[in-house]
Structure 1
């Protein structure tokens, strides 16, 4: 475990976000907390513990390894759903522990039945259908066979959900494509019902779709980025604001990332800082070295342009971001010294550095930055 920085998770901010989401979606819609990618960098164990205490009872993960972490953390207190990878050797654990999972091809469907039959337990399935994402999901031509199989093996298979995923609901540029997906999903649902096979729930919405296309909320929404206090894109945020009289952001950022100054030194005018010649001092400068680099998740693309907060002021990253360190300009901060707090994401005094701001200085997405934060950095729940 690293001791060079700390991730803080704000419980009151998360409670605020969940409260907003519940009010927006209504009491009948289940909120599934998406915690793939180490809970978007927040730390699965710490985050799901906090989320459960805030009333969340359903969690979505990408693979079985993530499901096991949630299961170990919460035992049998919550529903766990695997949206992606379930290898054949993991099916027994999944079914034995009543973990729900997406099924999007024939081999997984038949293997799930065989293992369920062997264990004398029911596999809890969510049938994913292809509506236009062209990634995973049963094609329309396969649905008759799927329906026949689910009916035939109902003793071993529980048809819990019918689901799909939208291709870029966060951008108005994808409006037509997503609109067509919604229509196709409704047609597929009607086809299942016509064949006397109705899922317990329907779900298709991620954070972006839940705001941009309210009709996609259905019985359950799979909410990732918004529960962490961030918007999927500026377009989604603007769409929300335009629908309300109150033009304020209802979400609060859950994560804060802090470190401390490791050393301070003087650099003369005309000298280069760090590897190579990407930054030359144009005046006498004071440089602070921070023990954070790209191995911790602070992208090398932020070399010579990233920002951190020290003593409530923004300081620019100068030189290349190294594997374990980076240097920042503190020339105008005479009071700065070794071990002073450095905020990489979060608020210090009157200023903030948001996760979204990183995209201003690089081509990183919110999601990319967060999920790249090292798992070895300790996470702490505050408030």
Structure 2
């Protein structure tokens, strides 16, 4: 796997420009930077000047801190790290490594407060998540006031207030409109309690991409400004070159300007001629109708090449790129091996480079055939990584 630092920074710049000068951008590097390698991507983003990085849990946060330090970035110069799925009982690690946890339950507040007292940590900055209607994580709007009191009792300082939208890729979504209203109500509760957060943030890649007038990020900036806070959005997959299509009457603002950061490669390990009638792969799901030239690749579903990309005589599957041309997957993708058709590609031989992703085949292409989304394709790739400048 080759990771392009230039493309990663380029995508970040596109997102920063689209979000506007009044909305900061928090790059999300959770799930190992969506399969791209957080230890590679985090230093690149830090050197590009981001103020925050987002991870799922404290272990990911620790890995990012180590990667930044290993890259020669002093702790005082590192971005702040937001633990987006809560402390998960890792309160001591959160405090020791200077991570900022997202919290929303009484139990989280009490455990984190107890850990801070035990360690003599003093005041601890946290971000309060509000469940504005996704019903996944976050405090109910009605419970925010009581939770703020409990935070104060436990020495927690509300540095940020956040929420997450369930349908950001739908232009003019009624669900998003309702979520925005509930989130605004929660932010007002925070302000009325005398709490002054530095940050108010919401929105993923699609929120930045969605250019429908009613979905503009102006509302976020205005909401943050109303309580003296800074606005921030949290793009994830767009950093890596992908974004869900905008549904409805909206226009994609950044999707066509993004470039995939990952190129996933392998090499041809064998080439053979087959006759008409020869069965290829497990269970003879594909039988050659004519003489064919097939290449064997040392890659399979254990590496993240989805089994759903397999083909039969009646169903086309996925493809890879060989010598700049499409080579269709033939038969079933196996655990460690895959066969592709190179009949129409001149000169294919052992050790030829093959692009599994990149150079004519994308995670969106794989996702369409596999019946999933590009997120799952990218997160599933297992390969040795290196960064290209």
**What is the TM-score of this pair, normalised by structure 2?**
0.89
- The answer (yes or no) to whether the contact 1:129–1:162 under 8 Å persists in 2 is yes
Aligned CA RMSD, in angstroms, stands at 1.9
Distance change >3 Å, CA 58–CA 250, structure 1 → 2: same
Q: 1:187 to 1:355 in 2, by over 3 A?
A: same
Q: Which residue in 2 is equivalent to 1:330?
A: 342
**Aligned residue for 2:119?**
119
Residue 188 of structure 1 corresponds to 186
Q: 1:286 aligns with which of 280, 285, 293?
A: 293
Question: What is the count of residue pairs matched by the alignment?
Answer: 362
**Conserved 8 A contact 1:211-1:236:** no
Distance 2:248 2:44 in 1: 26
Q: Secondary structure of the residue that 2:12 maps to in structure 1? A: helix
Deviation at 1:238, TM superposition (A): 6.2
Residue equivalent to 2:163: 164
Provide the secondary structure at the position in 1 that maps to 2:295.
strand
Residue 250 of structure 1 and its aligned partner are, at CA, apart by: 1.7
Measured after TM superposition, the shift of residue 230 of structure 1 is 1.1
**What is the alpha-carbon distance in structure 2 between the residues aligned to residue 18 and residue 48 of structure 1?**
12
Distance 2:326 2:29 in 1: 31
Q: What is the TM-score when the length of structure 1 is the normalising length?
A: 0.90
Alignment counterpart, residue 386 of structure 2, candidates 376, 380, 383: 380
1:261 aligns with 2:268: yes
Whether the 8 Å contact between 1:279 and 1:318 is mirrored in structure 2 is yes
List aligned pairs for 1:193-208, cutoff 5 A.
Answer: 193-208=191-206
**Structure 1: segments with no counterpart, 5+ residues:** 1-6
CA deviations 1:168-201 (Å, max 9, x no partner) are 21134x8101110001100110111112122221
Structure 2 residue runs of 5 or longer lacking an equivalent are 70-74, 222-230, 312-316
Q: CA deviation at 1:362?
A: 1.9
Secondary structure at 1:239's aligned position in 2? coil
Residue 199 and residue 57 in structure 1: after superposition, are their counterparts in 2 closer, same or farther (change >3 A)? closer
1:84 aligns with 2:85: yes
Deviation at 1:328, TM superposition (A): 0.1
Please say if residues 287 and 329 of structure 1, whose CA atoms lie closer than 8 Å, have aligned partners that are also in contact. yes
Q: Distance in 2 between matches of 1:102 and 1:183?
A: 21
| Superposition deviation, residue 70 in structure 1 | 0.2
Q: Secondary structure at the match of 1:223?
A: coil
- Please report how far the alpha carbon of residue 79 of structure 1 lies from its aligned counterpart in structure 2 after TM superposition: 0.8
4+ runs of 1 displaced by more than 4 Å? none
Q: Secondary structure at the match of 1:51?
A: helix
Q: C-alpha distance in 1, partners of 2:47/2:270?
A: 40
* Pair 1:179–1:357, CA change in 2 (3 A): same
